[in-house]
Structure 1
Amino acid sequence: MGVVLTEDEDKNILVDLVTTNPLAWLVSPNLVDATLLPLLPIVDDQQNIVAIEGHMARTNPHIKTLETEKSATILYKGPDSYMPTAWVANKRLAPTWMFSSATFLVDVTLLPAEKDTQEHLKRLVVFMEKINGSSWSVDSMEERFEPMSRYVIGFRAAVKSVNRRFKLGQNEEPDVLKEMVAGLMSADKADIAAWMKRANGRIDW
Structure 2
Amino acid sequence: MALYTPRHFAGSDLREAIALIQAYGFATLVTAGHGEPQVTHLPLLWAAGGDHGVLEGHMARANPHWQRFADGHTLAIFHGPHAYVSPSWYVQPELQVPTWNYATVHATGTVEVIDDRDAKLDLVDRSAAVYEAGSACPWTRGVDGERLEALLRNIVAFRMPISRLDAKFKMSQNKTAADRAGVIARLEASGDTVQREVGRWMAAHE
User: How does the TM-score come out when normalised to structure 2?
Assistant: 0.81
Contact 2:11/2:166 (<8 A) preserved:
no
Secondary structure of 1:148's match? helix
User: Paired residue for 1:40?
Assistant: 45
2: CA distance, partners of 1:6 / 1:70: 26
Cα deviation 1:45-92 (Å, max 9, x = unaligned): x9x6311001000111112212x3252111111111121111122222
Secondary structure of 1:172's match? coil
2: CA distance, partners of 1:174 / 1:146: 58
Q: How big is the shift at 1:28?
A: 0.8
> Which aligned segments of 4 or more residues in structure 1 are displaced greater than 3 angstroms?
2-7, 132-135, 137-147
Q: 1:157 to 1:56 in 2, by over 3 A?
A: same
User: Paired residue for 2:77?
Assistant: 75
| RMSD, aligned CA | 2.6
User: Paired residue for 1:192?
Assistant: 198
Contact 2:17/2:167 (<8 A) preserved:
yes
1: CA distance, partners of 2:130 / 2:155: 18
Contact 1:51/1:157 (<8 A) preserved:
yes
**Gap runs ≥5 in structure 2:** 1-6
Correspondences of 1:20-31 after superposition (within 5 Å): 20-30=23-33, 31=36
1: CA distance, partners of 2:203 / 2:59: 36
Contact 2:73/2:109 (<8 A) preserved:
yes
Contact 1:25/1:37 (<8 A) preserved:
yes
Secondary structure of 1:138's match? coil
Q: 1:195 to 1:134 in 2, by over 3 A?
A: farther
Correspondences of 1:1-205 after superposition (within 5 Å): 10-30=13-33, 31-43=36-48, 49-66=52-69, 68-91=70-93, 92-130=95-133, 132-133=134-135, 136-141=138-143, 143=145, 145-187=148-190, 188=192, 189-200=195-206
Cα deviation 1:82-125 (Å, max 9, x = unaligned): 21111122222333221111211111000122211111111212
Contact 2:11/2:17 (<8 A) preserved:
no
**Gap runs ≥5 in structure 1:** 201-205
How many correspondences in the alignment?
193
Q: 1:136 to 1:146 in 2, by over 3 A?
A: farther
Secondary structure of 1:161's match? strand
Q: How big is the shift at 1:146?
A: 4.3
Identical pairs, percent: 22
Q: How big is the shift at 1:17?
A: 1.2
2: CA distance, partners of 1:75 / 1:4: 17
Moved more, 152-161 or 73-82: 73-82
